[in-house]
A and B are shown apart, each in its own frame.
Chain A
Amino acid sequence: MKKKIALEITIPNQTRYLGLIGKIGENMAREFDVTVCDREILASQLNIVLTESIVNAIKHANATDPNKEVHVRINVNDREISIRVYDTGSGFDLSSIPSPCFDPGSLNEKGRGIYIIRSMMDSVEYRRTNGGNVLEMKKMLGNG
């Protein structure tokens, strides 16, 4: 039987909800037939990707404003998972974010979040939408 799940979550612009959303991602991964990778690896990847993208929205796009909100929309079917993280900030240019420096002599504390997301997902886009921006991340799960 074909499965299809759509989930919409709204959280305050605060990092305290990261664990909750990460767990939702992990549990969703365990509900689906995954043929492209190990299900437990997918579960941990969704936890990480949701965490990184929400932190990105909270700190960078929404500029840590406690009055703002972050909206998350997750759509899963037998073929792919799509995660959209909406912010209402002024946004940023995804293409201008470089890969982190791997040289142990010139390490930076920051700048690994988008690299981690790109490493774990098949496609990552950031674009303007009505009243804000959306970071959209997709990953193939199987042939459906």
Chain B
Amino acid sequence: MNLKTESNKGIVVVFVREERLDANNSEELKSELNHLFETGTKDVIVDLKEVRFIDSSGLGVLVSGFKNASTRQGTIKLSGLQTQVKSMFELTRLHRVFDIYATVDDALENR
């Protein structure tokens, strides 16, 4: 899976550089998020700007990250959701769970 991780003002931004986030590749994002939280990162932004398609496995990995962050008093925010991805969050009501921003910059400004 093509992931790029950057640190910005103490917040780690994970760019998911894939067209699909599904059962075939989402475990790699889960490992990356687990690694970040286990090594002391508190606040993470996952940027999905390049993701055109997400399935229940991809959503599940983000829920896992949310729970992981919550238990460590950290945060996980999402940015750059395309229309189809956004509609999957709405269908599963997860748009009420996550803080979702249009861009990484918007997410960084709302610390």
Where the two chains meet, the residues of A that have a C-beta atom closer than 8 Å to any C-beta of B are: 15-16, 18-19, 22, 44, 47-48, 51-52, 55, 58-59, 100, 102, 104, 107-110, 112-113, 115-116, 119
Contact = CB atoms under 8 A, between A and B. Distances in A.
Contact of A104 (B22, B64, B84, B96): B96
Contacts of B61: 109
B23 A44 contact: no
B72 to A, nearest CB: 16
Contacts of B56: 52, 55, 110, 112-113, 116
Interface in B15-32: 19-20, 22-24
Interface residues of B, number: 24
Given A47-B53, A107-B66, A100 B92 contact: yes
Contact of B22 (A51, A116, A119): A51
Interface of B: 19-20, 22-24, 53, 55-57, 59-61, 63-64, 66-67, 84, 87-88, 91-93, 96-97
A3 B64 CA distance: 44
Nearest to B61: A109
B23 A107 contact: no
A116 B24 contact: no
Contact of A119 (B24, B55, B91): B91
A92 to B, nearest CB: 15
A109 B60 contact: yes
Given A48-B55, A48-B88, A112-B56, A18 B63 contact: no
